[in-house]
């Protein structure tokens, strides 16, 4: 396989960031999170970066066309010659269509859209179980990394709190937004034959193993 151009899909709390970092290390590919790309373009003062900054300074959403242009700048670069990992974009079918058009211009294509599939209840358990140190921001989890004394930070002894964005009703709202806007991407990429599903409720190491197995199969199919 000449290049690996990957998109990570999945709800908040699905582990996209963890798996993206592992893929970056395993395949030596650049890992592009949308916010990081925009900040880098602003920092480097590219033409599109200056345009994006105007929107960001006003607190407005950066238009899809600008984001696509910024992503195109990075994908055209030498660092992405062997492929890339996109996390956080596209979020809608319209963005996916625009990304596809940009890839066509570069004579490239998406290798796979990796859906890390996690149920809503599991997302609520993962995100809703977080407890944050009110003083220094240390993070614990009631199931995965509980403090020695309930409600007390192991590091500094401060009170542990549930942040507003970790409250179940807020998490459910985020999930509703995800299903409304982002879930249609699953059908979009499935229709194009590039969607690959992975059970995100498995142990993170097993999730990573399954992703690597999927990519190895794609390489084998290309060689046959």
Cβ pair 82, 24 in contact under 8 A: no
Q: Of the residues 39, 163, 172, 181, which is catalytic?
A: 163
**Among residues 91, 108, 135, 197, which one is catalytic?**
91
Q: What six digits make up the tokens of 115?
A: 């859906």
Structure-token pair, residue 89: 């974009």
Q: Is 159 a catalytic residue?
A: no
Buried b (16+ CB within 10 A) or exposed e, 176-194: eebeeebeebbebbeeeeb
**SS3 label, residue 117:** strand
Angle between helix 64-76 and helix 93-105 axes, rounded to 10 deg: 40
For this structure, is 50 an active site residue? no
DSSP code, position 30: -
Q: Is 89 exposed, middle or buried (0-12, 13-18, 19+ CB in 10 A)?
A: buried
Per the annotation, the verdict on 91 as an active-site residue is yes
Catalytic residue chosen out of the listed positions 174, 181, 197, 212: 174
Nearby residues of 75 by Cβ (< 8 Å), 6 or more positions away = 5, 84, 102, 103, 106, 108
Marked catalytic residue, from 126, 130, 131, 210:
130
Task: Name the DSSP class of 159.
Answer: B
Active site residues: 16, 91, 130, 163, 174
């Amino acid at each position: 396989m000449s290049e690996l151009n990957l998109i990570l899909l999945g709800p908040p709390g699905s582990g996209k960031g963890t798996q993206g970092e592992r893929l970056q290390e395993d395949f030596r590919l650049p890992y592009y999170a949308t916010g990081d790309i925009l900040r880098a373009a602003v920092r480097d003062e590219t033409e599109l970066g200056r345009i994006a900054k105007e929107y960001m300074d006003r607190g407005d959403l950066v238009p899809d066309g600008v984001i696509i242009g910024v992503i195109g700048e990075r994908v055209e670069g030498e660092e992405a010659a062997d492929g890339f990992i996109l996390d956080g974009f596209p979020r809608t079918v319209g963005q996916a269509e625009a990304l596809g058009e940009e890839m066509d211009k570069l004579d490239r294509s998406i290798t796979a859209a990796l859906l890390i599939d996690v149920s809503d209840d599991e997302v609520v358990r993962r995100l809703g179980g977080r407890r944050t140190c009110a003083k220094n921001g240390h993070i614990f989890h009631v199931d995965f990394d509980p403090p020695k004394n309930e409600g007390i930070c192991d590091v500094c002894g401060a009170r542990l709190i549930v942040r507003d964005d970790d409250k179940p009703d807020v998490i459910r709202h985020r999930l509703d937004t995800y299903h409304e806007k982002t879930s249609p991407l699953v059908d979009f990429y499935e229709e194009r034959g590039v969607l690959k599903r992975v059970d995100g409720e498995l142990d993170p190491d097993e999730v990573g193993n399954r992703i690597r197995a999927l990519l190895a199969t794609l390489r084998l199919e290309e060689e046959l």
